[in-house]
Amino acid sequence: MVIGSENKPQQGIVHFPLFRFEILAVLAPGHVLADKRVLEATDFSRDMLITYPVPEERIDLIRQVLMPAGVGWQRRTTELTVAILQLVASRRGIAALPGWGIKNYLDYEYVVARRIGSGGLWSDLYLSVREEDASLRYLQDFLETIGRSALPG
């Protein structure tokens, strides 16, 4: 079983939708862009973009916002969310992360978040399993639990 954002058809694999979530721009408190309610593609060309070390075509901000707008970016990577947030808080760049993953940091004002684009930048999570495992009771229980408790999107 794999949880991820891809649901491309693949022989022998079944993808179950889990939930939809908003990806937010994450900035240091007092950052010049923090005065804006919504960030646009060009806003991301000013700072180092801090991301996970995955191919750029798998990063929603790059794939859905920056590339279509023809905006360039500089990128630095790190593997841990807490490291991304530390780099952002210390003004070494900005990031785009799931709102549900940064809630505590926002509550304690360690960082601030802004919407990306007027309609927001949204993504979906899927549970992907082998076709022969799709009807296993524990997977069905997991899907039912997620359905009852997932954040609204």
Give the CA angle between residues 70, 76, 82 to the nearest 5°: 120
Residues spanned by the domain of 67? 2-149
Distance separating alpha carbons of residues 81 and 74, to the nearest angstrom: 19
Give 148: exposed, middle or buried? Use CB within 10 Å, 0-12, 13-18, 19+. exposed
How many domains does the chain contain in total?
1
- The C-alpha atoms of residue 134 and residue 138 are separated, in whole angstroms, by 10
Q: What is the pLDDT along the chain (153 residues), one digit of tens a residue?
A: 898 888 889 999 999 999 899 999 999 999 999 999 999 999 999 899 999 999 999 999 999 999 999 999 999 999 999 999 999 999 999 999 999 899 999 999 999 999 999 999 999 999 999 999 999 999 999 999 988 876 554
Can you give the CATH number for the domain in which 87 is found? 3.40.190.10
Task: Say what the pTM is.
Answer: 0.86
